[in-house]
Structure 1
């Protein structure tokens, strides 16, 4: 995968060593606060909304950045530091992708047993978001943000893809971040209502609906299968739950590659074809044009190696804190596993510098997945055991903290997108559920 970069300054001139240290410490404070708050859930109608530490980190960091003028100078995150945070986010997500790849490698034997129906319904998950979301986005006047908001359901792996391809400060980056936030806050409730309504129509086999429920998010899957199972005989519930879990695993494992190689290129291509036709129905200006006119901060895309090392250290320490506070794994136990992940990233990063045209995310994901396959290499089982102590969710808190700081500078652009991006995000969620259900129905 190539990266669309231009000759941008690596780091803003006014980003000093003191400023970098300040951002490092404040980001860790945000991680601690978010993990201390912990997960929270509440009932809303027939569904349940689950708020995880990653969301608290995003909200705290974004608020911190927005009110930076009123924050004491020693902990003030200025606009230039917010741009620098975006650069750190782009680099830090590489640790996340290694953890994702190692997880994928370990689950490949299970995926092999899942069957053809689960494999083909993944096309519905991958393209269903586009079928509903992209045309609606263009009709509402959403521009390039539509690509980021509709090529997937916007989970963590999708943030990685957009960050590497376009950068998080790009229109596509704002789109996927809006999709992520919408899905985190409203996704479970929305899909529970949708799945319950579609089930009540009695036009799909319950097993097809269960496959559609595996959208790649644990909370959304649980909400959807709960609404589906409530309308089925009790004896059928265990089977449906198992199918939904297998489908969700398939989406988590293969969804990254489907979106990387299929849905994102398709989304970008369709945008170019459809926007001149559908976009004319809306007179809304492009958010990117507004950003350019306002002189928005330029995003950092190509950090020096030393700054990438700062990013990796920040993400590593933040993940170890989360692993300790939320999952009771002592930092000493996490340290070796984290060091292995950083070594893998460093090796691939060096290879990228020797071969500049090498697609970094693709190679990194392949290397991590291969290392994570049990018994494939003499050291694979040891690596799996040591990195297995690092909980996947612990990585998301520092990632979303940096995303929050990076997003703070783009608040006017998010305001301009407003309700439109929420509607588009929910339509993409509906599309992935309905698309997978329709394809699964062909096998039932």
Structure 2
């Protein structure tokens, strides 16, 4: 009887997984077909990429699933399953990022001490400003995920692997990601332009502060700073900002994992009893947000993880085909390499007793393959260039959207507070890095 029940449960879970994959494919195709939209807002603009449409459509499907026929509903157990798929799928983006920057490692060595040490400011600044504010506003453990970094894709992967995306920390980093995606570029452009207009810091220091780890936010901040400089200095601003952003997206993964995340956890333990508040934003552990099911987002087994990697790769090929006109056959080699890198990184994590997260192993393996140390680096760089990194993000945000409805009660409680905290964390990372860069520059 027990074996039969287990078989039925496995069959039902397999059906739910395939239904999720079908929903994800439909949402991704629609999102990529809609494409990008640009909205002018004051001195800057907001660019809504396909990843935003995918996130919104996935969330809407979960919110309105009760109005759909039973067979079409995105049930809460399925939303937890989407969160479970999201965690290993995010490693595919980490692999792509590592493959992109491996051949730029010599540039990092030549960048100088200012570019290296400003990285401390990027990640410590978010905590020093964002964490106390979050606690004063009544945000609890979500504050850790929302303030240990600016909450881009590697941060989602780190929190997902450490805590799970259905945890308070997972809700915090996802809320920070959504806020940053929708409003981050316009906020940092206005803020960086205002700070630059004060003429307190050297333009190069401001440029280094602009490399927050997000391409769109870096471009927005660097553009605002460069607009206030002479033409020759403006060109250097773009160069320093790009170099800083490169360091943040490579070395930054290790900073967030081994320095800023432990610091955020320690800061929460120390400060929460002192300045923490309890209000409508606070989510006690027994709030019953998931009372409809006791299913938790457990780590998928190896077969489940391989399935997630392969299907995320298939979705990436579809997104790359629609948005960048690269046929699936042309991008298949890059996708296969990315899946192989993730598999090797996953196995290395297991061989080391899971003491070093898969995020680190995947980054190291990917960076080596395109670094000067690899004899096939040139061919691999040419191969991986066939897949645009934005095409890798859309599938991730599709699964994030499909999993988000279960956490809407928590997001509703956080409300405007998480937006304020996100802006404070973004301001903190810019100011922190600028201060340190200014010190070494002078």
TM-score range, shorter chain: over 0.9
CA distance in structure 2 between the partners assigned to 1:209 and 1:378 by the alignment:
37
Q: How does 1:256-295 map to 2 (within 5 A)?
A: 256-279=253-276, 281-284=277-280, 286-289=282-285, 291-292=287-288, 295=291
- How do residues 248-327 of structure 1 correspond to structure 2 at under 5 angstroms? 248-279=245-276, 281-284=277-280, 286-289=282-285, 291-292=287-288, 295=291, 297=293, 298-327=295-324
Task: Give the C-alpha shift of residue 380 in structure 1.
Answer: 3.7
1:36 aligns with 2:33: yes
**Distance in 2 (alpha carbons) for counterparts of 1:273 and 1:256:** 25
- The structure 1 residue matched to 2:195, chosen from 182, 186, 198, is 198
Q: CA deviation at 1:18?
A: 2.4
Counterpart for residue 415 of structure 1:
412
**Which position in structure 2 is the counterpart of 1:371?**
369
Give 3-state SS (helix, strand or coil) of 2:285's partner: helix
| Displacement after TM superposition at 1:251 (Å) | 1.6
Q: Which runs of 5+ in 1 are unaligned?
A: 1-8
Q: Measure how far apart 1:41 and its partner are.
A: 1.0
The structure-2 alpha-carbon separation of the partners of 1:317 and 1:75, relative to structure 1 and needing over 3 Å to count, comes to: farther
Q: Choose the corresponding residue for 2:96, options 99, 104, 115.
A: 99
Contact between 1:329 and 1:389, CA under 8 Å: does it hold in 2?
yes
Which residue of 62, 66, 71 corresponds with 1:65? 62
SS in structure 2 of the partner of residue 357 of structure 1 = coil
Runs of 4+ in structure 1 displaced over 6 angstroms? 11-14
Q: Tell me, yes or no, if the aligned pair for 1:22 and 1:74 is still in contact at 8 Å.
A: no
Displacement of 1:241 in angstroms is 2.0
Match of 2:387 among 386, 390, 405: 390
Q: Give the distance between the partners of 2:345 and 2:222, measured in 1 at CA.
A: 40
The worse-fitting range, judged by mean Cα deviation, of 243-252 and 264-273 is 243-252
2:3 alignment partner in structure 1:
none
Aligned partners of 2:346 and 2:361 also within 8 Å = no
| Counterpart position of 2:438 | 441
- In the alignment, the residues of structure 1 paired with residue 229 and residue 214 of structure 2 have an alpha-carbon distance, to the nearest angstrom, of 23
Contact map agreement 1:214 1:248 (CA 8 A) in 2: yes
Which deviates further from its counterpart, 152-161 or 224-233?
Answer: 224-233
Count of residue pairs the alignment pairs up: 433
372, 391, 398: which one aligns with 1:401: 398
**Is the CA contact 2:115–2:244 (under 8 Å) kept in the aligned structure 1?**
yes
Distance 1:47 1:100 in 2: 27
Given that 2:207 and 2:241 are in contact with CA atoms closer than 8 Å, whether structure 1 keeps it comes out as yes
CA contact under 8 A between 1:120 and 1:439: conserved in structure 2? Answer: yes
Counterpart of 1:4 in structure 2 is none
Q: CA separation in 1, counterparts of 2:292 and 2:353?
A: 29
What is the aligned counterpart of 1:183 among 174, 180, 183?
180
8 Å contact kept, 1:97–1:364 = yes
Question: Contact 1:90/1:301 (CA < 8 Å) preserved in 2?
Answer: no
Q: Is the 8 A contact 1:162 1:173 kept in 2?
A: yes
Deviation at 1:419, TM superposition (A): 0.8
1:47 is displaced (CA, Å) by 1.1
Shift of 1:82: 0.8
Residues 222, 363 of structure 1: alpha-carbon distance in 2 compared, 3 angstrom cutoff: closer
What secondary structure does 1:409 align onto? helix
Displacement, 1:343?
A: 2.0
1:150 to 144, 147, 150: 147
Matched, 1:90 2:102: no
Normalised by the length of structure 2, the TM-score is: 0.92
Contact (CA 8 Å) 2:189, 2:220: kept in 1 or not?
yes
TM-score by length of 1: 0.92
